Structure 1
Amino acid sequence: MDLAYLWFFIVGFLFVGYFVLDGFDFGVGMSLPFLGKDDISRRQIINTIGPVWDLNETWVIVAGACLFAAFPHWYATLFSGFYLALLLILLALILRGVSFEYRHQRDGLRWKKGFDTMIVVGSAVPALLWGVAVANIVQGVPIDADMEFTGSLLTLLNPYGLLGGLTTLLLFFTHGVYFVALKTDGQVHDDARGLARRSSILTVVVAAVFLVWTILLAFGEGRPLAWLVVVFAAVAAVLLIGSVIANLRDREGWAFGLGAFTIVAAVLGLWFALFPFVMPSTTDPAYSLTIENASSTDYTLTIMSWAALVFLPLVLLYQAWTYWIFRKRVSRTRIERAAALVH
């Protein structure tokens, strides 16, 4: 069963990558009403993620595919039980992607505002619901002896789940605003730094409450790696406060980097809080899905491991190369010149 445990953490790694990378995409989208004072500034904001947002989304596709292959029982219970929540996430992602592509097809103000609204909604809904979903997975949900989820969408909207959703919403928002400050110049850059100062305070408070609750949950449920939850929660807290200080000192690169590692530490803390379960059952602990009873055969996991060894480094290299190519700031002057040429 060693490969099953390895793949538990590989799946975790993929979700960490998704939350870090698509997380700032969500934050950028949610920042439009606050930073987009005119069409040029809104284009400047959207262009910060224009070359990379679809690449960032592929992480969740790969994570879902690996979950399906490595842990078919987990996949089946999760996607059937959380069907409505995951469907809402999917529809929001489609809405956001369509808006990026169609926003610039016409010059009408009403046309662009409509798609801008869809970008905001398509960013906020996944940012909230991913946190709700992960928090419920860690806390546990009603599962029967047949590994079937017996609750409903309302079951997921419990206090801990909603607090998890609010935490990811605020973390992704602040993370995205840091990215806007890093990638823009002029008024948008200055406004982003100011907005990050305000949002980061609320983020620190909400995230602290959620992490403390998670620690209490891990110890209360007797999770074997609860002590690691404390370690990663402390690391996440220090990194988040560090990002706030870096933003105050106009070190947007450090602010964004520390914000990214805050998400890494927080998600790893949740993953260790979950271990050795993949979906705990609140109906009866004996019905819980664990790493061992939810995994595929050793043969399947062996083939997947060799494939991951070959292709995962290539994916990481391609992702790094893409960000290096598009590393420059998005200049307002350049967008104004492009708009002048069009007209």
Structure 2
Amino acid sequence: MELTTVWFILIAVLWIGYFALEGFDFGVGVLLPVLGRDDGELSGETRRRQMLSSIGPFWDGNEVWLLTAGGATFAAFPHWYATLFSGFYLPLLLILVALIVRGVGLEYRGKVDSVAWRRRMDAMIVVGSAVPALLWGVAFTNIVRGVPIDADMEYVGGFWNLLNPVALLGGLVTLTLFVAHGALFIGLKTDGQLRHDARALGLKVGVVAAALAVVWLVVVHSSTGTVVSWALAGLAAVSLVAALWTAWRGSEGWAFTGTFVAIALAVSSLFVALFPDVMPSSLDPAWSLTAENASSSQKTLGIMTWVAVIFTPIVLLYQSWTYWTFRRRVSGHHIPTSVAPAAVTHETVR
């Protein structure tokens, strides 16, 4: 197998890991004002802190997948990186700012014991979660379907070209799917009334996400799909339906696994439909960026491969250890009611 193909697959795996893991973080953040309300048993503040504590040990580690995907693209496919970041500059900048705002909200929410302060931080978390969840869907829909690229490998469209109806549909798919994914994660990681409310909401939002996803996958794959990509898209739909069925039966673990697999398969289908291109040109197929003409030299790819072979297992082992260590449910009754936690970190759930 060519090294260009190997690195295309590795970058696809990084994006799959990012969406499947960071997706539930985004969902939890968006649902903060929805599920973080008084229920008679616990106060709204306790429920919100219970939700944030559920992602406390994971959210910053999940973002490593994005950083690694960006770095790998820059090193392995510099022309892809250059065209992508120049053409998608504004939406990617909005995503970056949103991620920074979300990180500030999560880290500084408990620094001041003030209701007004925590409300401002909560708003930052909600916006910082919703914007990337929407714009990632817009970006990847455009990448797979093709954008205006000229013979010099340069994007010649504008910002509004990216906000076409199909791309916006893709944004709604990722937003609703991540919200359902996050709701099921809350149901898996919490207890009491919050657990039941989250599972019920995840089921409702999941139905909407499933309907939107079916339309979106059909539209995207009808123009770029292959037999394999269609098969993966079909399996993603089956996994999502299975997740909703198990959520209805009250099994949060299997329901979360179902949305996790559905996201992984859906993203896999997009990369399969994309290959061997990395950014198709909507002006002329001959001007498309491919895994071959956008790649670095074979020597560079060879060095990167050895680095990946050494460090990838270490990263996977560390993240697996983190998820195993913090696998227990976060109980609202164990959260202090007087002073907010210093930050949403590993210490939050100890």
Q: TM-score range by the shorter chain?
A: over 0.9
In the TM superposition, what is the alpha-carbon distance from 1:341 to its structure 2 partner? Answer: 11
In the TM superposition, what is the alpha-carbon distance from 1:33 to its structure 2 partner? Answer: 1.5
Question: What is the match of residue 281 of structure 1?
Answer: 281
Amino acid at match of 1:190: H
1:43 aligns with 2:31: no
In the TM superposition, what is the alpha-carbon distance from 1:159 to its structure 2 partner? Answer: 1.2
Q: Which structure 2 residues correspond to residues 115-126 of structure 1 after superposition, within 5 A?
A: 115-126=121-132
Question: What is the match of residue 300 of structure 2?
Answer: 300
d(CA) in 2 for partners of 1:151, 1:94: 27
Question: Could you list the runs of 5+ residues in structure 1 that have no partner in the other structure?
Answer: 220-225
Amino acid at match of 1:57: E
Query: Do the aligned partners of 2:113 and 2:340 also contact (CA within 8 Å) in 1?
Result: no
Give deviations 1:51-84, integer Å, cap 9, x for gaps: 1100000110000000000000000000111000
Amino acid at match of 1:299: K
Give deviations 1:192-245, integer Å, cap 9, x for gaps: 0111121011011000101111221125xxxxxx11111001100110000001
Question: What is the match of residue 216 of structure 2?
Answer: 210
Question: What is the match of residue 254 of structure 2?
Answer: 254
Provide closer, same or farther for how the CA distance between residues 332 and 281 of structure 1 changes in structure 2, counting only shifts above 3 A.
Answer: same
d(CA) in 2 for partners of 1:264, 1:197: 19
Give deviations 1:87-107, integer Å, cap 9, x for gaps: 000000000000011111112
Query: Do the aligned partners of 2:184 and 2:199 also contact (CA within 8 Å) in 1?
Result: yes
Query: Do the aligned partners of 2:15 and 2:69 also contact (CA within 8 Å) in 1?
Result: yes
d(CA) in 2 for partners of 1:17, 1:340: 31
1:53 aligns with 2:59: yes
Secondary structure of the 1:294 match is coil
d(CA) in 2 for partners of 1:172, 1:106: 30
- Percent pairwise identity: 55
Question: What is the match of residue 264 of structure 1?
Answer: 264
1:98 aligns with 2:74: no
1:198 aligns with 2:201: no
| TM-score (structure 1 length as normaliser) | 0.96
Question: What is the match of residue 4 of structure 2?
Answer: 4
Amino acid at match of 2:143: I
Question: What is the match of residue 137 of structure 1?
Answer: 143
Runs of 4 or more consecutive aligned structure 1 residues displaced over 4 Å after TM superposition: 337-342
Question: What is the match of residue 85 of structure 2?
Answer: 79
Select the residue among 59, 62, 72 that pairs with 2:68: 62
Question: Could you list the runs of 5+ residues in structure 2 that have no partner in the other structure?
Answer: 38-43, 343-350
Query: Do the aligned partners of 2:11 and 2:69 also contact (CA within 8 Å) in 1?
Result: yes
In the TM superposition, what is the alpha-carbon distance from 1:336 to its structure 2 partner? Answer: 3.6
Question: What is the match of residue 41 of structure 2?
Answer: none
d(CA) in 2 for partners of 1:202, 1:78: 30
